[in-house]
Amino acid sequence: MTKLSQGTALRIFALLVTLGVLSVAFLWTLSPVRSEGQTTFAIYLSIDLVVFAMCSYIYRVTKWKEGVGRIPILGGCLALLLLIFVGIVA
């Protein structure tokens, strides 16, 4: 099983969109004037970019009737977890 089902891909897509909206809302309230704010802004902006890349991947493979691969989704999720952890710690 190297491919995810269509329903699972849709659920992952919905969770990614929710994470992206929350990240953008946090960026909206953040003041990037201080150096700490700039670092946090960069981290949460990178979260948005990874979310966008994963959503684009899911859309592309479902549009072309290919299966959503588990390895790219797992890699993206691990990158997101790492960025979220760094964003909380920083």
Report the pLDDT value the prediction gives residue 90, as an integer from 0 to 100: 76
pLDDT digits (tens, 9 = 90+) for 54-84: 999 999 998 888 888 999 999 999 999 999 9
pLDDT at residue 36, rounded to an integer: 76
pLDDT of residue 1: 56
Q: How many C-beta atoms lie closer than 10 Å to residue 54's C-beta?
A: 24
29-33: average pLDDT: 79
> Which residue ranges make up each domain of the chain?
3-89
Q: How does pLDDT run across 34-58, given as a tens digit for each residue?
A: 777 888 889 999 999 999 999 999 9
* Residue 16 vs residues 39, 49, 53: alpha-carbon distances, Å: 22, 11, 10
